[in-house]
Chains A and B, each alone.
Chain A
Amino acid sequence: MQPFNFHLPKHELLLRFATAAKILSWICLAYYLLLLFITVMPAIYPIDEFGMKPDKPVITIKEIFPPLKHLLSGIVTWVVLRSIALGLAMIVETDWNYRLRREENDHAG
């Protein structure tokens, strides 16, 4: 295979988007994990308005589920961006393959 013969600027652009999506997926995951940490911390180590730690911290159901939502959002975003990166790479690969086949057919004909 000689893929670089078929490497057009549009392929380059798509592959750049794919790389960007891959990098962004990790950044987004890190962001949501940070958000999760920020949301979970007050529930685990509650501090009242005087900066004192209450004797019996009460964690309600309402405090448990929003962090879960952040975690899920992070995973979903990671999966979506990762899929976009893979999808773009597959589109470029498909185009390469068709161009290669056409080239081979032209030579054979």
Chain B
Amino acid sequence: MPGDLRAHIYQNMDMRSTGELVQIWQENDRSIWSDTAFEVINAILAQRLEEVPPQGEPIYQHEEQPQKRALFDDIKLSPFTDPENAPELYNPREVLWLQKQIDRLAVIYVGVTVLVNLSRTGDTFAITANYLINNQYRDVIAILITVVISLLLSTLQCAIGYFAIRALGSILKILMEMEFNSRAKENPE
């Protein structure tokens, strides 16, 4: 059997041009060609050429080329993201990625809103104190009013923003579930 295999490889290799064989020989790609194939090529090149050219370093494994990745490629596969049962108009992974970012964004929104409102307390204090110019407890009252207004404003803004952003994420998830349930295929669960 090994002799048959070698004869078969020899037959195939012998049909190739010398240039082609030299290229295979020099590339020395062991992940594509077997040791027997290189023995056969060596034998053919020895017959065809005066001197067999030197071989390059053997390649046993090709390094995987890093592919361009989308932001949402890290989302794990699930029944929703099964490529076999994928929707045509949108990428479920993108929805799941966006939903994850929306949850983070809601928290960041609260933080930034509080910071921005804190930076404006000076202005609020100045305006309030301006109205109480003739009052002997002007500063105390102005500070109290500023604290109350800032707290109310921050709470209101944070609540509106946070719940609106979280609601958006939930709406996306519900829409994806609705679309998933409307598919003709049976659920894999």
In the complex, A94 Cα to B119 Cα: how many Å?
46
Taking CB atoms and an 8 Å cut-off, the chain A residues in 92-109 that contact chain B are: 92-94, 96-98, 100-101, 104
Chain A contact residues, majority secondary structure? helix
Q: Cβ of A69 < 8 Å from any Cβ of B?
A: yes
Our pick among B108, B120, B161, B168 for the contact of A83 (Cβ within 8 Å) is B168
B-side interface mostly: helix
Chain B residues closer than 8 Å to A104, beta-carbon distance: 184
Flag B97-128 by CB within 8 Å of A: 1 or 0 each: 01001100100110010011001101000000
Q: A1-30 vs B: 1/0 string, CB under 8 Å?
A: 101000000000001000000000000000
Taking the closest CB of chain A, its distance from the CB of B126, in whole angstroms, is 12
State the Cβ distance, A11 to closest chain B Cβ, in Å. 9
Report, as a range, how many residues of chain B touch the other chain.
20 to 34
Which of B3-11, B24-32, B139-147, B171-179 makes up part of the contact surface? B171-179
**Total residue contacts A-B, CB cutoff 8 A:** 83
The answer to whether A68 and B112 have CB atoms under 8 Å apart is: yes
Cα distance A36–B169 when bound, in Å?
26
> Residues of A at under 8 Å CB distance from B?
1, 3, 15, 61-62, 64-66, 68-69, 72, 75-76, 79-80, 82-83, 86-87, 89-94, 96-98, 100-101, 104
List 13 additional A-B contacts (Cβ < 8 Å) besides A69-B116, A89-B90.
Answer: A1-B88, A62-B119, A65-B112, A68-B116, A76-B109, A83-B169, A83-B172, A86-B90, A90-B89, A97-B179, A97-B184, A100-B184, A104-B184
